[in-house]
């Protein structure tokens, strides 16, 4: 624009924004105003701005309560814009701006400040916060903790990756230097200390199993929508489609164990129906709803690409001349690569489709002669060291290795965590321009993606819900990086889903008419149970009592059915002392499996296992009549992930071998098997303690070590914490054993990670 056109545009836009501001009497209208201003800043970021216009924009960003827009504008213009003269009428804006400042270089936007100000020392503070992905919920949480000076705190995140990410942030925050920070469920805790627990729901449940003496001052629980199975996002993420039970049980405990609570999640619509299950939950547990779903801090522009025609969108122009979706994708990407906004996430509905799309894009980049152009020299060396590690530790024929060579990342639940983490880092640094992902990318992962390209309106075999679509679209554009994100829907109904009616969040433990699992029946209040459910609960408790199971044992492993606990305990009662001794001695020389004893153990737990994949691995036998599970556990214990991978590579293609190994280790071992082994360990030691008239904690069993090795690949507590962070398996093995022979076998990437860990974790 020329300066006259620019001035005219600014004036007309100012008039429009001021009218919107004076008409803002609802949060919905405030959301419209923010989108309008955000869109306005996105357009004028390329203008040559005068002092008058600069002050005008400063006032606008303060007017809507998001002064960060002005800071972003300065940053994008390399901070060359400054006020030359400050007048009296500028001071009110500056005073307002300073009222949002919390720490050096950190400030709230208006709506974060509103949530923060809800918490008061003299009150019971219980809130349910629903807001867009860009709202900045975790920043609010740390500021609330600092304001309220809580002593015992729990932060519950949905994934180990988020647990580890927040653990590192808090380690580097001076305020938390006098807190004991716990991430493992079996750490020793002193009530006199200031304690901060960072857990997944499963870890939280495990901790409460081990110690029921704790009361907390504040608990934050993120991604709270996971209490309702219909909102579970990713069918391919480990154990994801079963986690609603863990979330519900953990939530019930949270309400019983803490005075102040903040529950949070994105885009959750709350029904006004006073008799709905979620409203029953709010009333019974004294929660107030804070809904800011309309406050979208990063604006979104959406384009459907579904025809052969010319498209003109947000400064982009391209023509689709071929019908297949993959050709439309290639045309779009070519246009984005030629623009300055090429960082893109491609969403698809299943793991195998991420690999299929990766193959298309590798071919497309080769045909178009698009090669890696790495400007960031600091990360360039690390990137090629990382590629060399993947080549030798996995396979040069693995699709992920081939993709990364072309600047393309793949992200789904069966890619090892440390590799996922590096992919995100390289993407945010601009080394990778594209990530192809399932809904794993929506799990609180922060990327610098400007564009979200949606290749499917499904998740697995199910059509996306509005909630899912909002979460996926929410990953386009990042606050403090972009004013606006672009969403491209290729040959699907994604946009229609975004504009459809929202589904109601449910908590079935607060619905008398809902079909409940046995676990939910045991957890729910009597008033939300039918007569049949009450009878079932009473009979189960009576049966447990007759067997001599104390209540504190019955209440352990809360996500396992009481009927299964009873069945397993009846099995233990029939075992001879020698058989019990064999099960307790399931390991030889620290970490090597005793195959015969492990087979006896599997016979004991088989009848209560519900997961079909785990059952099949037990049923399938080798020529020597050992189960396939025994063979694979033995490989895993002796050489970790790569021990199993080597076994699979002898029988399958690299892509299939990595998938099967990941599924086995991340799903079967770490999620399902450890649960049953943990229950067996507790019931077995309880039974022996009753027989020998001693404390069950005095009963030795290397089942505990086996569980730790399956869940973390290590037994040392420091190594366990680092395992959560996501590092190569050989590094974990060295940190656990301190065996110099393991250290000497590190490749360059493993050495690089080890040196980084020494400073990060102060080891």
pLDDT in tens, 125-170: 999 999 998 898 989 999 999 999 999 999 999 988 888 889 888 9
Sorted by where each begins, the domain ranges of the chain are 3-99, 112-291, 303-493, 529-712
pLDDT band at 638 (very low <50, low <70, confident <90, very high): confident
Question: Is the predicted pLDDT of residue 431 greater than 90, yes or no?
Answer: yes
Determine the Cα angle at 238 with ends 232 and 243, to 5°: 45
Q: Are 705 and 587 in contact (CB under 8 A)?
A: yes
Q: Are 749 and 389 in contact (CB under 8 A)?
A: yes
- What's the CATH architecture for 112-291? 3-Layer(aba) Sandwich (3.40)
Q: CA–CA separation, 435 vs 379, rounded Å?
A: 18
Residue bearing tokens 């009473």: 538
Q: Is 435 helix (H, G, I), strand (E, B) or coil?
A: strand
Both tokens assigned to 203 = 């870890």
Looking at residues 347-354, what average pLDDT do you find? 93
pLDDT in tens, 542-601: 999 999 999 999 999 999 999 999 999 999 999 999 999 999 999 987 789 999 999 999
Residue 221 phi/psi, 5-degree rounding, is -125, 120
Per-residue pLDDT at 91 = 45
CATH of 303-493, one of 3.30.200.20, 3.40.250.10, 1.10.3720.10, 3.40.50.300: 3.40.50.300
Residue bearing tokens 């008409």: 23
Alpha helices in 405-465 (DSSP H): 417-428
Burial class (CB in 10 A: 0-12, 13-18, 19+), 239: middle
pLDDT band at 72 (very low <50, low <70, confident <90, very high): confident
All residues at 6 or more sequence positions from 89 whose CB lies less than 8 Å from its CB, including other chains: none
Per-residue pLDDT at 744 = 94
pLDDT in tens, 303-347: 999 999 999 999 899 999 988 999 999 999 999 988 877 899 999
- How, if at all, do strands 458-459 and 462-463 pair? antiparallel
Q: CA–CA separation, 336 vs 330, rounded Å?
A: 10
Per-residue pLDDT at 55 = 77
Burial class (CB in 10 A: 0-12, 13-18, 19+), 11: exposed
665: which DSSP letter? I
CA 221 to chain centre: 12
Q: CA–CA separation, 452 vs 482, rounded Å?
A: 13
Determine the Cα angle at 302 with ends 301 and 307, to 5°: 145
Cα separation values, 585 from 43, 594, 597, 686, 709, Å: 69, 8, 7, 16, 15
**For all residues of the chain together, what is the average pLDDT?**
89
Question: Is the predicted pLDDT of residue 386 greater than 50, yes or no?
Answer: yes
pLDDT in tens, 528-542: 999 999 999 999 999
CA 51 to chain centre: 44
CA 412 to chain centre: 12
pLDDT band at 18 (very low <50, low <70, confident <90, very high): confident
112-291 and 303-493 have identical folds: yes
């Amino acid at each position: 624009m020329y300066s006259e056109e620019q001035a005219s545009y600014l004036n007309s836009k100012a008039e429009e924004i001021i009218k919107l501001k004076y008409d803002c009497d609802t949060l919905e209208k405030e959301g419209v105003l923010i989108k309008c201003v955000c869109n306005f800043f996105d357009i004028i970021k390329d203008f040559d701005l005068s002092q008058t216009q600069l002050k005008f924009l400063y006032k606008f960003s303060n007017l809507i309560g998001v002064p960060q827009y002005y800071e972003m504008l300065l940053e994008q213009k390399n901070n060359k814009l400054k006020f030359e003269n400050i007048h009296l009428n500028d001071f009110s804006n500056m005073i307002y701006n300073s009222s949002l400042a919390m720490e050096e270089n950190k400030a709230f936007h208006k709506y974060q400040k509103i949530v923060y100000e809800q918490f008061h020392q003299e009150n019971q503070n219980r809130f349910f916060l629903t807001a867009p992905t860009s709202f900045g919920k975790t920043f609010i949480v740390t500021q609330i903790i600092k304001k309220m000076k809580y002593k015992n705190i729990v932060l519950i995140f949905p994934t180990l990756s988020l647990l580890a990410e927040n653990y590192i942030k808090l380690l580097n925050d001076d305020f938390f230097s006098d807190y004991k920070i716990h991430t493992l469920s079996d750490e020793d805790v002193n009530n006199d200390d200031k304690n901060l627990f960072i857990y997944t729901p499963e870890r939280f449940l495990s901790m409460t199993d081990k110690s029921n003496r704790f009361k907390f001052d504040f608990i934050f629980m993120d991604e709270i929508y996971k209490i309702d199975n219909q909102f579970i996002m990713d069918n391919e993420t480990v154990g994801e489609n079963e986690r609603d039970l863990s979330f519900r049980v953990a939530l019930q405990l949270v309400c019983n164990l803490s005075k102040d609570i903040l529950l949070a999640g994105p885009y959750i619509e709350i029904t006004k129906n006073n008799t709905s299950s979620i409203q029953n939950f709010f009333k019974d547990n004294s929660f107030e709803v804070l809904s800011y779903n309309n406050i979208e801090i990063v604006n979104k522009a959406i384009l459907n690409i579904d025809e052969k025609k010319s498209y003109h969108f947000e400064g982009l122009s391209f023509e689709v001349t071929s019908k297949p979706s993959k050709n439309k994708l290639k045309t779009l990407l070519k246009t984005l690569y030629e623009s300055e906004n090429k960082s893109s996430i491609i969403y698809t509905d299943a793991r195998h489709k991420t690999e299929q799309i990766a193959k298309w894009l590798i071919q497309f980049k080769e045909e178009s002669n698009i090669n890696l152009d790495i400007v960031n020299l600091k990360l360039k060396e690390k990137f090629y060291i990382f590629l060399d590690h993947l080549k030798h530790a996995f396979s040069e024929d693995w699709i992920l290795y081939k993709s990364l060579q072309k600047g393309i990342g793949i992200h789904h639940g069966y890619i090892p965590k440390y590799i996922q983490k590096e992919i995100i880092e390289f993407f945010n640094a601009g080394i990778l321009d594209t990530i192809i992902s399932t809904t794993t990318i929506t799990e609180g992962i922060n990327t610098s993606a400007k564009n979200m390209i949606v290749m499917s309106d499904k998740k697995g075999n199910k059509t996306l819900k509005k909630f899912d679509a909002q979460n996926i679209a929410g990953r386009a554009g990042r606050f403090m990086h972009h004013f606006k994100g672009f969403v491209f829907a290729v040959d699907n109904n994604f946009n229609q889903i975004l504009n459809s009616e929202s589904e109601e969040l449910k908590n079935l433990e607060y619905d008398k008419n809902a079909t409940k699992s046995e676990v939910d029946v045991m957890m729910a209040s009597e008033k939300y149970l039918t007569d049949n459910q009450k009878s079932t609960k009473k009979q189960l408790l009576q049966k447990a009592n007759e067997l001599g199971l104390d209540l504190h044992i019955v209440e352990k492993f809360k996500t396992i059915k009481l009927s299964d606990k009873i069945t397993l305990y009846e099995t233990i009662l029939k075992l001879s002392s020698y058989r019990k001794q064999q099960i307790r001695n399931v390991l030889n020389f620290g970490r090597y499996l005793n195959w015969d004893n492990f087979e006896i153990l599997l016979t004991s737990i088989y009848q209560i296992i519900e997961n079909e994949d785990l059952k099949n691995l037990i049923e399938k036998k080798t020529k020597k009549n050992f189960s396939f599970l025994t063979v694979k556990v033995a490989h895993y214990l002796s050489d970790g992930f790569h021990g199993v991978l080597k076994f699979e590579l002898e029988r399958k293609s690299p892509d299939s071998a990595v998938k099967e190994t990941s599924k086995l280790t991340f799903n079967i071992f770490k999620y399902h098997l450890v649960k049953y082994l943990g229950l067996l360990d507790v019931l077995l030691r309880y039974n022996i303690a009753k027989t020998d008239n001693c404390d069950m904690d005095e009963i030795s069993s290397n089942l505990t070590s086996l569980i730790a090795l399956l869940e973390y690949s290590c037994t040392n507590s420091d190594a366990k914490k680092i395992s959560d962070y996501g590092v190569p398996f050989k590094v974990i093995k060295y940190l656990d054993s301190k065996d110099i022979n393991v250290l000497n076998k590190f490749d360059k990437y493993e050495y690089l990670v080890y040196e980084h860990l020494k400073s990060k974790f102060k080891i």
